[in-house]
Amino acid sequence: MRAFEYVSAKTVAEATSLLYEKGDQAKPLAGGTDLIVMVRENRRQLDRMVDIKALPETNVLSYSPDTGLSLGAAVPCHEIYADDAISAAYPGLIDAAKIIGGTAIQGRASVGGNLCNASPAADTIPPLIVLGAICVIAGPNGSTREVPVEQFCTGPGQTVLENGEFLVSFKIPPPPRNSSSFYLRFIPRNEMDIAVVGAGASVVLDDTKTSFVSARIGLAAVAPTPLLAEEAGGSLAGQEVSDDAINAAAEAAQAIARPISDMRGTAEQRTHLVGVLTRRALTGAIQRVKEA
Amino acid sequence: MPRKVHVQTTINGETAEFLCEPRQSVLEVLRDVLYLTGAKEGCNNGNCGACSVILDGRLVNSCLVLGAELEGKSLETIEGLAEPDQLHPIQDAFLENAALQCGICTPGFIVAAKALLDQNPNPTEHEIRYWLAGNLCRCTGYDKIVRAVQDAAKTMSSEVSA
Ligand SMILES: Cc1cc2nc3c(=O)[nH]c(=O)nc-3n(C[C@H](O)[C@H](O)[C@H](O)COP(=O)(O)OP(=O)(O)OC[C@H]3O[C@@H](n4cnc5c(N)ncnc54)[C@H](O)[C@@H]3O)c2cc1C
Ligand code: FES
Ligand code: FES
């Protein structure tokens, strides 16, 4: 590995100025499960890694049914799914946190790192999208701003972050009554693989649990960035829960997919999978509302 | 070149101090600086688990952690398992079940199994297989490894109740 400097930031302000000073030659370090591999393989050259794991702000993990979830950008997957209240409130996020790599990866890999790495196939992004997560970003000179997660990635490996900025935490609204979420992906193996396609869904049902109040659908690995399938989810609002409504939403999701062919799958297979996985994600989320 | 960092940490219960380059991984520090060569390098990218260690109670791949990140932390490695005159029950179970052939994956499997049994003393076969999915073995076909972990779980829980 090419030599670089390692600094563990003690405050948010210190982190932003350490990053700002070095421009694109500095990167935040969370769990390192993407960054260390990338630097080692010379896909990324750096002068400085700024460890953001020691900051209290990136380690918050607090949930209340009234205010929702505050999730620090550096909290590893393992810690998230170890929390019963969070697991019950946001099952779609937990589906993703439990399938990133194996146990040892989940002990380090953060949701913040998964988002900031901006892989089109990143597993936590569709659930973050369907749960309406907001990114809290800190920048130089004490600036902060908030960006909805579906607007955060701008291309493969590209994000809205400007020089000196980093992701501090996520704000995820409390789950509405009669709601739930679900995420699944297609991979050729049972574990330890990257999604060929991933699909997440969140649904809010009425009190009789027979019609949709609203729904959101998020997709991974079918475009340069993970997508919010806005029309597909929107088409379900007010509809009775039925195969027809679900199939129509799945077709609308297929319509916005712009997949490529690569070693993991062809564009045609991916488009087919968007339909199958969207149906399963919706059905899974509905099932969870009914079981609750 | 960036200066070496001075790191103070705890390894297998004892205070350890070392100097390392910021780019050196925990795996490199263990093997090349501290001469603890039990953790192995298989892939050097997080896929094989041969380098498994336990950091502050959590299983991690030492090839994906920087040595500099160990400051103030506590690390358990394969070297910390056996007593001077007695193997750890998981090590015994691997021998009894012939759960190794070439042995390169074995320290990683044993450390990963310890991390599992520390938090779940009585795992199902399914739980064992999922927990160990990040550890690859090219020789045994896994069944004997799973049986060894099941045996070790039995031995360890009877030792606790005895
Ligand atoms: C064996 C293996 C299996 C994997 N399996 C999966 C999988 O199944 N699904 C999947 O989606 N991914 C997978 N990954 C990729 C990786 O583990 C995840 O993307 C993980 O969530 C990254 O988080 P991290 O904390 O390790 O990030 P890091 O590696 O620390 O950082 C990732 C990137 O984000 C930047 N970054 C990190 N935190 C911040 C922040 N707070 N603000 C701004 N930028 C930041 C870093 O500079 C870097 O560019 C796998 C990786 C390995 C090695
Ligand atoms: S050497 Fe670390 S996981 Fe393979
Ligand atoms: S015993 Fe050879 S790799 Fe497992």
As annotated, the residues of chain A forming the CATH 3.30.465.10 domain(s) are 60-172
Q: Specify the pLDDT at position B161.
A: 66
Q: Specify the pLDDT at position B146.
A: 98
A291 touches chain B (CB under 8 A): no
Of the options 1.10.10.10, 3.30.2020.30, 3.30.465.10, 3.40.190.170, the CATH number for the domain spanning A60-172: 3.30.465.10
Q: Please give the class, per CATH, of domain A5-51.
A: alpha beta
Confirm if B18 and B87 have CB atoms less than 8 A apart: no
3-state DSSP assignment of residue A233: helix
Average pLDDT over residues B135-146: 96
Q: Specify the pLDDT at position A210.
A: 97
Contact A104 B60 (CB under 8 A): yes
Average pLDDT over residues B84-101: 97
A190 touches chain B (CB under 8 A): yes
Across chain B, mean pLDDT equals 96
Confirm if A244 and A254 have CB atoms less than 8 A apart: no
Residue A103 has its nearest CB partner, among B63, B69, B134, at: B134
A82 touches chain B (CB under 8 A): no
Q: Specify the pLDDT at position A192.
A: 66
Contact A104 B52 (CB under 8 A): yes
Q: Specify the pLDDT at position B1.
A: 64
β-pair partners for B9: B16
pLDDT tens, position by position, A61-73: 999 999 999 999 9
Confirm if A103 and B53 have CB atoms less than 8 A apart: no
Contact A3 B65 (CB under 8 A): no
pLDDT tens, position by position, A166-212: 999 999 999 999 999 999 999 887 666 789 999 999 999 999 999 99
Give B152's contacts (C-beta < 8 A, 6+ positions apart).
Answer: B89, B90, B92, B93, B94, B113, B117
Q: Which of B32, B64, B118, B128 to mutate to test the interface with A (most CBs of A within 10 A)?
A: B64
A78 touches chain B (CB under 8 A): yes
As annotated, the residues of chain A forming the CATH 3.30.390.50 domain(s) are 179-291
Residue A107 has its nearest CB partner, among B23, B44, B59, at: B59
| Percent of chain B residues topping a pLDDT of 90 | 95
Q: What number of C-beta contacts closer than 8 Å exist between A and B?
A: 90
Q: Specify the pLDDT at position A190.
A: 67
Q: Specify the pLDDT at position B133.
A: 94
Average pLDDT over residues B77-99: 97
User: Is the CB of residue B141 below 6 angstroms from any atom belonging to ligand 3?
Assistant: no
CA dihedral B89→B90→B94→B99, nearest 10 degrees, is 160
How many angstroms separate the CA atoms of B109 and B49, rounded?
7
Q: Specify the pLDDT at position A234.
A: 98
How many angstroms separate the CA atoms of A203 and A130, rounded?
9
pTM: 0.96
CA-nearest residue for atom 4, ligand 3, is B137
**Domain A179-291, what fold?**
Enolase-like; domain 1 (3.30.390)
Contact B133 A37 (CB under 8 A): no
Check residue A160 and report its DSSP letter: S
DSSP string covering A23-55, please?
GGGEEEESS-TTHHHHHHTTSS--SEEEE-TT-
Check residue A79 and report its DSSP letter: H
Q: Which residues of chain A have pLDDT under 70?
A: 190-192
Average pLDDT over residues B124-135: 96
Residue type, B20: C
pLDDT at B162 over 60: no
ipTM of the complex, rounded to two decimals? 0.94
Domain annotation for chain B: domains and CATH numbers = 5-78 (3.10.20.30), 89-161 (1.10.150.120)
Please name the residue of chain B whose CA is at the shortest distance from the CA of residue A47.
Answer: B2
Let me know if A278 is exposed, middle or buried by CB neighbors in 10 A (0-12, 13-18, 19+).
Answer: buried
Contact A191 B133 (CB under 8 A): yes
Residue of B41, B43, B139 with the most ligand 3 atoms within 8 Å of its CB, for mutation: B139
